[in-house]
Amino acid sequence: MPYSHGLTLIELMIMVVVATILLGIGIPALGHLVEHTRLTTTTNQLLTALHVTRSEAIRRGHAVTLCTSKDGFTCTSDTLWHEGWLLYENPTRTGHPSSPEAILQVENGWADQNVTATSNQPVSQYITYDGLGQSKRLSGALLMGTIKICGKSDKGRAIIISSAGRPRVATLHCD
């Protein structure tokens, strides 16, 4: 009797059941992976901006400021960090860039609207580093605080700026 090549109906049904089970297990895990990657990427964007701000202040020997901005030209007090920011040279410690040439970098906000960045009052609008790399208020007083980055899940990230100005990342429980 010749050997036939192909699948029987029972073999096909078993394959469909196994594929359904594997997809049922794999798709939720993929969703968690995507969420984790989204939070890591957005946290790293803001953390990189903080490191650039600090290093530029040390390199230039005077204050450099990172502030929230919607338009990329002026600092705005009603903007959250995920909506955009700008980095500018600030030797006179003013609340806005003195000229367009003073602007060093602009971020127009995150493309992913599911991720938000909120912060406590000291770092809600700006973070300034002096020539020694220490975080300061525009008045010259000590500046430290936390920026919370949350997505859809209850897990998030916190960028904590210490009294010396060094930013670090910690895990966070989002509400």
Domain-located, residue 2: no
CATH of the domain at 30: 3.55.40.10
Q: Which domain holds residue 154?
A: 9-173
Which residue from 170, 163, 165, 159 is spatially nearest to 130, judged by alpha carbons? 165
CA–CA gap between residue 71 and residue 85 (Å, rounded): 9
Domain-located, residue 102: yes
Q: What total number of domains does the chain contain? A: 1
CA–CA gap between residue 11 and residue 19 (Å, rounded): 12
Domain-located, residue 103: yes
pLDDT of residue 132: 93
**Whole-model pTM?**
0.81
For residue range 60-86, list pLDDT tens digits in order: 999 999 999 988 889 988 888 988 999
| Joined tokens for residue 38 | 């989204």
